[in-house]
Chains A and B, each alone.
Chain A
Amino acid sequence: MARIIVVTSGKGGVGKTTTSASISTGLAKRGHKTVVIDFDVGLRNLDLIMNCERRVVYDFVNVIQGEASLNQALIKDKRVETLYILPASQTREKEALTREGVEKVINELSQTFDYIVCDSPAGIEHGAQMALYYADEAIVVTNPEVSSVRDSDRILGILQSKSRRAEMGQDPVKEHLLLTRYNPDRVDRGEMLSVKDVEEILAIPLLGVIPESQVVLNASNQGLPVILEENSDAGQAYDDAVARLLGEDREHRFMTAQKKGFFSRMFKGG
Chain B
Amino acid sequence: MSFLDYFRSKKNNTASVAKERLQIIVAHERGQRDMPDYLPQLQQELLDVIRKYVQISDDMVQVDVDRNESCSVLELNVTLPEK
Interface of A is mostly: helix
Tell me the minimal C-beta distance from A105 to chain B in angstroms.
Answer: 30
- Alpha-carbon distance A193/B25, docked complex (angstroms): 16
Query: Are A269 and B11 interface neighbours, CB within 8 A?
Result: yes
Interface of B is mostly: helix
A contact residues around B12 at 8 Å (CB): 190
Query: Are B14 and A150 interface neighbours, CB within 8 A?
Result: no
Which bucket holds chain B's interface residue count? Answer: 20 to 34
A contact residues around B11 at 8 Å (CB): 189-190, 269
For the complex, is B73 an interface residue (Cβ under 8 Å from A)? no
Tell me the minimal C-beta distance from A90 to chain B in angstroms.
Answer: 34
Chain A 142-160 near chain B by CB (<8 Å), digits 1 or 0:
0001100110011001000
B contact residues around A188 at 8 Å (CB): 8
Query: Are B15 and A153 interface neighbours, CB within 8 A?
Result: no
Write the residues of chain B forming the contact surface with A, with a CB cutoff of 8 angstroms.
4, 7-9, 11-16, 18-19, 21-23, 25-26, 29-30, 33
Query: Knowing that A145-B18, A190-B9, A197-B18 are A-B contacts, what are 8 other residue pairs whose CB atoms are under 8 Å apart, sorted by A's residue number?
Result: A146-B21, A190-B11, A190-B15, A191-B15, A192-B15, A193-B19, A194-B15, A200-B19
